[in-house]
């Protein structure tokens, strides 16, 4: 933590007798003691500050739960230490709007499914792996026949081996 950065953020920092107190807006944000030449912060006061937040912030912290549900939790004291500093909420919560929206379906290409084996083969290449396999492979590849959904998995030492493995898969089929 930088004392200079704390000062820029209008925090009041006092260092006296091996103790430190950090205040923001005349409220204690953190306390600490000096050990081995460094100040170690006691984070307990921060948890008290974090417990007091606006209804909007609690709505967001609790995963955009229904605002009426948050109000009920505060009123019934369902969550120990849950305190609300302001009951104001935004008229429109953008993440909630996106979460409730439904996507339009992907447009149909009109081509339909293939009618015979190996007419359309999908492939994918993965890697490099952080550790080579026992056989020395750093890459893996898959080939999936669109008609039968048959999938072959191959292990490759180089990415450039993918084409030759594809040709091998075609000759096996």
**Tens-digit pLDDT profile for residues 34-56:** 888 887 776 554 455 556 678 88
How many helices, marked H, and strands, marked E, lie in the chain?
6, 9
In a 3-state reduction of DSSP, which class is residue 7?
A: helix
**Tens-digit pLDDT profile for residues 96-111:** 888 888 878 877 776 7
Distance CA 112, CA 51 (A): 56
pTM for the model = 0.40
Distance CA 153, CA 141 (A): 6
Task: Report whether pLDDT(138) > 60.
Answer: yes
What's the confidence (pLDDT) of residue 17? Answer: 85
């Amino acid at each position: 933590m930088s004392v200079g950065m704390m000062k820029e953020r209008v925090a009041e920092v006092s260092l006296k007798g091996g103790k430190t107190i950090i205040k923001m807006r005349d409220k204690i944000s953190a306390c600490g003691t000096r050990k081995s030449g460094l100040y170690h912060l006691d984070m307990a006061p921060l948890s008290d500050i974090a417990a007091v937040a606006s209804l909007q912030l609690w709505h967001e912290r609790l995963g955009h739960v229904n605002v009426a549900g948050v109000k009920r939790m505060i009123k019934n004291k369902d969550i120990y230490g849950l305190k609300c500093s302001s009951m104001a909420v935004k008229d429109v919560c953008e993440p909630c709007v996106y979460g409730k929206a439904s996507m339009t379906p992907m447009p149909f290409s009109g081509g339909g499914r293939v009618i015979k084996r190996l007419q359309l083969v999908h492939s994918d290449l993965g890697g490099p792996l952080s550790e080579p396999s026992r056989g020395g492979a750093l890459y893996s590849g898959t080939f999936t026949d669109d008609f039968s959904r048959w999938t072959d998995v191959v292990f490759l030492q180089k990415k450039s081996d993918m084409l030759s493995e594809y040709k091998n898969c075609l000759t096996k089929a």
